[in-house]
Amino acid sequence: LTPANGNDDRLTVWIAAVKATDLPHLHTFTRGLGLDRDAVNAALTHPFHNGGTEGVNTKTKLIKRQMYGRAGFTLLRHRILLG
């Protein structure tokens, strides 16, 4: 889904269609979307995201898990900075 103006309106129409069906799992999903609708609308309409930051965090956690119990902070720091 490419972020664009009007996606939030399309989501509202989709949620209404889901509520008209007999699919309880999708009802639960749409209730979850409604709990933080402002954030969902922002994700659907704005082209900005923090995917790069999340990727760096995931990679850092992976290296940390691999290094657990093997060496000190200095080597961990070097692996993160050079990797």
* Distances, alpha carbon 59 to alpha carbons 21, 72, 74, 83, in Å: 41, 18, 17, 9
**Distance between CA atoms of 40 and 35, rounded to whole angstroms?**
9
Q: What is the mean pLDDT of residues 42-68?
A: 90
pLDDT number for residue 49 = 84
Average pLDDT, the chain: 91
